[in-house]
Amino acid sequence: MNIVVPVKLVPDLVEELEINDDGTDLERDFLSYKINEFCDHAIEEALQIKEAHGASVTVIAIERDETDKVLYTALAKGADRAVKVTGVDEAATTHTAAKAMCTVIAGMDYDVVMTGVQAADDRDGQLGILLAGYLGVPCVSVVSDVSVSGDTLTVHKEYSGGMMARYEVTPKIVLGVQAARQTPRYAPVSRVRQIMKETELEEVLVGDADVDVGSTVRRMYTPEKGEGAEMLEGSSEDVAARIAQLLNEKRS
Amino acid sequence: MGQDILVVAEHLKGEFADVTFELLGKAAELAGATGGSVSVALIGSGMKDKAQELGAAAKVYSVDHTGLADFNPLTHGSALAAVVDHAAPRLTLVANTSMGMDLAASLSVAKDLPLIAYALDVQVDGDAIVATSQLYGGKIYAESASTGASVIVSVLAGVFPADAGRTNGSPAIEDVAAPDGIDDAQVRFQALVEPEGGDVDITQHDILVAVGRGIGSEDNLPLAEELASALGGAVCSSRPIVDSKWLPKTRQVGKSGLKVKPKVYLALGISGAPEHIEGMKDAELIIAVNTDETAPIFEFAHYGSTEDLFDLVPALTEKLK
Ligand SMILES: Cc1cc2nc3c(=O)[nH]c(=O)nc-3n(C[C@H](O)[C@H](O)[C@H](O)COP(=O)(O)OP(=O)(O)OC[C@H]3O[C@@H](n4cnc5c(N)ncnc54)[C@H](O)[C@@H]3O)c2cc1C
């Protein structure tokens, strides 16, 4: 089974996000990117399938600041192939990213495409579902429990309240992965370094993926903190005392 | 394309989801602005019999087929595309839920229509549809405008009041033919899997101590448990804690977990991602502890502290004992 995992890099939400001067996008100059956490789960689930059933895993990412590191890390974790897609604008919409991924993946011999269910910058929809549309294959997203038996896969799509729907799917198929069966593994830094020395990333230039998404951002902004919390200040003892007081009032 | 607002009805086990009524209420308001009327795409088997619950709509486009009884992203997707062809709506409102995500994005590609996702609000502004998306874990909002002749907006659950759309009536029913190939699709629904019964029912507790990824490791959970027992409450968590198997699924609060409405919700090391907020925003008193002062949880909390939870929690437990 050939599994392709297109991953998204997204701004690190731990860092402060600033808006650009015309107020229509993030200020991208000093933005630090990291792998979308759900894409990390997609890699893990693909590797789990590889280990249980045998499969080849190809990880693909669009070039950003940290892409090399993300791809080398995927190889260090056990992926067989890593491909860097160049020529796609940093501020590209998810439609454009999906179209670019489609251009690369359509020519590959794949059975299953697994990607993160969503990403922090999905203003115009989710990569997996859009990609499936461009590839002309079906997609099941919000998937968390994948098993393989012969040519078919059984997947679980999560609803709310812990309810799930079980589907049987026949490749070619795209899966939007919510959570891998175990927490994504870490790759030892020494292993990543070694891979970096030994391997050269494959690169594919995709220059003409631009999709007109039919909408434009008028205004991007940080939500008003108006109705926000009353912040409790002081030492941790002071804050603890104040919280204890609030809780006791509420309990009595 | 017309001026109508099409709402995609979401249902599970024969019952409409609340978000369907939330969208209907909003659609009725928007139809006033476009000069169109409200219609519903109802895809299922036998759901037509429940169309009277969709009285906020003037018309129901029904795709009825035994093979469509349970949601299937592939076949429900092509059925929705058929309805959109038929109804030619100005705006299609879909819930930004597990089912709705699949439908909205696949429709966008299939029909080459603009999609604005994760919407907290939708307005009609002259000849544009304007929607505000909640992005970057709730840290950033983006207001997008589309002048496309037909636009899709996927709306977050719980942002509009359901009561506004909960009207009985008798909308006109128009049947739309089911797409071919439903019974031998590449994606085949097998069964619904019910959640396992839990050790603790967090929806029944007045006091919840919720832990997020800020708790760092499973070894630190006793900190939260001691606090919860000092308060006579229970421990619940955000999703990553459950994904790591530190707590059972029945303790998860949020979009894919449980919705809780306790008297007190103490959020420790939880960022406040929209999917988490969905499950706890109606708690009576929310107190959040998070070292990141820009964490979105502080917009929803009544009280907040940027103290390190490892300093604060032991001090708090001590005071409550
Ligand atoms: C379809 C779908 C459904 C989902 N359903 C759910 C759901 O039901 N429930 C849910 O919770 N999530 C759900 N998620 C996941 C959600 O998007 C977030 O990934 C998740 O809520 C983040 O959890 P968190 O806040 O614990 O972790 P993070 O976002 O990583 O936040 C950890 C926080 O801890 C703070 N912190 C770190 N150390 C300390 C310290 N020492 N003291 C104090 N604070 C500290 C950090 O500042 C940070 O803000 C869903 C996602 C998808 C795509």
Give the model confidence (pLDDT) of A151-166 as tens digits.
Answer: 999 999 999 888 999 9
Q: Is the pLDDT of residue A224 over 80?
A: no
Q: Residue A227 — pLDDT band, cuts 50, 70, 90?
A: low
- A49 in a domain, yes or no? yes
Q: What pLDDT, on the 0 to 100 scale, is given for residue A180?
A: 97
CB under 8 A, 24+ apart: contacts of A10-15: A10/A34, A10/A35, A10/A36, A10/A119, A10/A120, A10/A121, A10/B136, A11/A120, A11/A121, A11/B136, A13/A120, A13/B136, A13/B137, A13/B139, A13/B271, A14/B292
Is the Cβ atom of B70 under 6 angstroms away from ligand 1? no
Is the pLDDT score of A216 beyond 80?
A: yes
Residue A172 corresponds to which tokens in the numbers above? 């070619």
Residue type, A130: L
Average pLDDT, chain B: 96
Q: Is B213 in the pocket of ligand 1 (CB under 6 A)?
A: yes
In a domain, A211, yes or no: no
> Tens digit of pLDDT for each residue in B255-268?
999 999 999 999 99
pLDDT band at A231 (very low <50, low <70, confident <90, very high): very high
Quote the tokens at residue B166. 């909960």
- How far apart CA B289 and CA B165 sit, in angstroms, is 36
Subunit contact B195:A162, Cβ cutoff 8 A:
yes
Q: Is the CB of A119 under 6 A from ligand 1?
A: no
A179-182 long-range contacts (CB < 8 A, ≥24 apart) are A179/A38, A179/A41, A179/A144, A179/B239, A179/B243, A180/A41, A180/A42, A180/A44, A180/A45, A180/A48, A181/A44, A181/A45, A181/A48, A181/A145, A181/A146, A182/A44, A182/A48, A182/B245
Let me know if residue A252 belongs to a domain.
no
Is A180 within a domain?
Answer: yes
Residue B31: HSE in the Cβ half-sphere, 13 Å Cα cutoff: 23
Residue A157 tokens read as 């799509």
d(CA B275, ligand 1 centre) in Å: 9
Q: Which of A17, A157, A237 sits opposite B315 (nearest CB)?
A: A237
Which spans in chain B are helix H? 18-34, 73-87, 98-110, 221-231, 239-243, 274-280, 297-300, 309-320
Average of per-residue pLDDT across A30-36: 93
What digits encode the pLDDT tens for the residues A119-147?
999 999 999 999 999 999 999 999 998 99
For B309, list phi and psi in degrees, rounded to 5. -65, -25
CATH code of the domain in which A144 resides: 3.40.50.620
* pLDDT tens profile B83-104: 999 999 999 999 999 999 999 9
- CB B22 within 8 Å of CB B157: yes
Section A103-120 average pLDDT:
97
pLDDT score of A226: 54
Q: In this complex, which of B139, B187, B195 lies closest to A222 when CB atoms are compared?
A: B139
Enclosing domain of residue A124: 2-205
Number of domains forming the structure of chain A: 1
pLDDT mean over A10-34? 93
Task: Say whether pLDDT at B198 is over 90.
Answer: no
High-pLDDT (> 90) share of chain A, %: 88
Residue A16 distance to chain B (closest CA, Å): 8
Q: What is the mean pLDDT of residues B189-214?
A: 92
From A151, which residue of chain B is nearest by alpha-carbon distance? Answer: B186
pTM of the full structure: 0.94
Closest CA to B274 of B73, B116, B136: B136
Residue whose C-alpha is closest to residue A170's, from B70, B65, B181: B181
Query: pLDDT grade, residue B1 (50/70/90)?
Result: low
Mean pLDDT for A81-107 is 96
pLDDT for residue B73: 97
Domain membership of residue A119 (yes or no) is: yes
B310 touches chain A (CB under 8 A): no
Is A233 among the domain residues? no
pLDDT at residue number A225:
63
Give the Cα separation of A214 and B92 in Å (integer): 15
Note whether B60 and B53 are within 8 A (CB). Answer: no
Cβ contacts of residue A214 below 8 Å, gap of 6+?
B113, B114, B146, B148, B151
Q: Does B192 reach chain A within 8 Å, measured CB to CB? A: yes
Q: Distance (Å, rounded) from C-alpha A135 to C-alpha A247?
A: 54
Q: Which pLDDT value is given to residue A204?
A: 97
Weakest mean pLDDT among B38-52, B85-99, B172-186, B303-317: B172-186
Q: What is the pLDDT of residue A16?
A: 87
Domains annotated for chain B, with CATH where assigned, are 5-184 (3.40.50.620), 202-320 (3.40.50.1220)
Q: Are B108 and B115 in contact (CB under 8 A)?
A: yes
Would you state the pLDDT for residue B183? 83
Contacts of A176 (CB under 8 A, 6+ apart): A115, A116, A117, A118, A126, A128, A129, A139, A140, A141, A142, A143, B101
> What pLDDT is stored for residue A210 in this prediction?
84
Percent of chain B with pLDDT over 70: 100
Binning pLDDT at 50, 70 and 90, where does residue A9 land?
very high
What ipTM, to 2 d.p.?
0.95
pLDDT band at A15 (very low <50, low <70, confident <90, very high): confident
Does residue A248 fall inside a structural domain? no
